[in-house]
Chains A and B, each alone.
Chain A
Amino acid sequence: MLYSDKVMDHFNNPRNVGVIENADGVGEVGNPVCGDIMKITFNLDDSEHIDDIKFQTLGCGAAIATSSIVTEMAKGMTLEEAAHISKKQVADELGGLPPAKMHCSVLATDGLKVAIDDYLKKHGREPLSGEIKSADPNFDPHGDEDDDEHEEA
């Protein structure tokens, strides 16, 4: 199974690793049984654009690369824009992912969505995404490969 050069770059030199204390938005997805866990934290600027965003990930090369690239993609976006980043866009930004690894890109976008909804709920506003299954620590993402409810063309 071959990773693209860009995936390897983001795996070897991940961007935005870390955690923001008391962040505006916090999202954690995945579970240890599955072997992939991502945590995304972000702060917004005064115009509600994502200003600072960080990730921590336990997972394989694709998991780390997709977390890294999604934080890069989300920087400067509004909450709406960030919540609509699709798994295909993540994979395309990375120059493609092996089919078996596409679920990692779902986890990355899920983490971001959960963090965004965390911010919105904290401020008494409507969440942008529906229920995110991978935010449930007992959920097994591999049992649901074609879960595309949050997929955007």
Chain B
Amino acid sequence: MDTVYFDCAATTPVDARVLEVMLPFFSERYGNANSLYALGRDAYRAVEEARESVAKSINAASPDEVIFTSGGTESDNTALFGVLTKVAPDGGAHLIVSAFEHHAILEPAHWLEKQGYEVTVLKPRKSGHIDPNDLRAAIQPNTKLVSIMHANNEIGTINPVKELAAIAHESGALFHTDAAQTLGKIPFDVQELGVDLASASSHKIYGPKGFGALYIKKRTPFNAYQRGGGQEFKKRSGTQNTPGSAGFAKALELMLEDQAAEAVRLTGLRDKLINGVLSALENTQVTTDVEPRLPHIAHLLINGVEGEAMLLQLDNKGIAVSTGSACSSGSLEPSHVLLSVGCRPEIAHGSLRVSLGRFTTEANIDYFLEVFPPIVERLRSMSPVYQKMFGSK
């Protein structure tokens, strides 16, 4: 049975056109980009061409503001450690992150707090957005860095990054955004947004896993973490990932080709799915429908049903989705994202994230709408408390 893949926010397949661009670099153009002979110079050129392409795609002022990394997580860690250890080597500086960041921001922030930095974790509003006034209120004289994700990977809401960056700058703080979920999907122009740093992830946009980028505006104070041969302008040493660079650049180029049209198409499919679920099943809600949100993420709360059970039942039908239930996480806590927007734990357990993409068809949506309601009804009939908690209709 072919998978109906509705988890694009988790990862995406590598597009055939991206793979085609990458393949020569494995066995033919395999040189080390630092080597002086032709094979090496060729690899070097390929990496720099990729860099130019990515820089142009995000409207960076110059290509050397883009460094390549092993992925979004490395970019996030590097942004936080790189800046704070440079501007405040002995601790004491203040960092603000949002409460619904990916763990790749929250964990470094948590560790930095233990090392003697002050950290404020800023809660979003119930709509799922960070309110600029709340950021302004949180800023202190010693705030050096603010990191707020461009869009949230679970609930799909888009934060007002341009406004937030301006507020940070008013007080002399730098601004980083995790753009893993927005790059390529919605307009992303680093100069327009005014960010100092931004993280990107290749495997979210039909590029290879294990590859990402970090935009660092010129003159941003920064300590390299990964030191060695001095690659990436001494900001991130390591032999360059030639196929990864070429693949990522191509992936981003493809995203931009039909970005606007895809956004319209995916929004239509997303809304068809949401409306279909809401009309077929009682006691279901969209977690948030407050704009702006990403075109491809539908996040639902299915009351009285547990998320992992739904996920496994859908898996039986060949449908891949994700959930924020406690049982589905290693920590046995429901999703921190849902809790941060005020979702009660007993409701968060019934969460379902459907994230669509390039290869999603309307037939996929129709199939989901056919098989999902009976799954929910069956699980609700097995529950000892559904009637008690949600009443019968």
- A-side residues, CB < 8 A to B, are 1, 8, 11-12, 14, 17, 19, 28, 32-39, 56-64, 100-101, 103, 142
A11 touches B327 (CB 8 A): no
Contact with A along B379-390 (1 / 0, CB 8 A): 100111110010
Contact residue among B308, B312, B325, B385 (Cβ-Cβ distance under 8 Å from A37): B385
Pairs across A and B, CB under 8 Å, 13 listed: A1-B330, A8-B312, A14-B382, A32-B346, A33-B344, A34-B326, A36-B306, A56-B384, A58-B306, A58-B379, A59-B306, A59-B309, A61-B308
B389 touches A32 (CB 8 A): yes
**Chain B contact residues, majority secondary structure:** loop
Apart from A14-B382, A35-B327, A64-B382, 8 more pairs, CB < 8 Å? A34-B326, A35-B334, A57-B384, A58-B306, A58-B383, A60-B307, A60-B325, A63-B306
> Which of chain B's residues 302-351 have a Cβ closer than 8 Å to chain A?
304-309, 312, 316, 325-328, 330, 332, 334, 344-346, 349
List, in ascending order, chain B residues with CB within 8 A of A57's CB.
Answer: 382-384
List, in ascending order, chain B residues with CB within 8 A of A1's CB.
Answer: 330
Contact with A along B334-376 (1 / 0, CB 8 A): 1000000000111001000000000000000000000000000
**Minimum distance in angstroms from A120 CB to a CB of chain B:** 21
A1 to chain B: closest residue by CB = B330
* A12, A33, A35, A39: residue with the most chain B Cβ atoms closer than 10 Å: A35
**Minimum distance in angstroms from B309 CB to a CB of chain A:** 6
List, in ascending order, chain A residues with CB within 8 A of B384's CB.
Answer: 19, 28, 37-39, 56-58
B312 touches A35 (CB 8 A): no
Q: Give CA–CA (A57, B383) in the complex, Å.
A: 5
B328 to chain A: closest residue by CB = A60
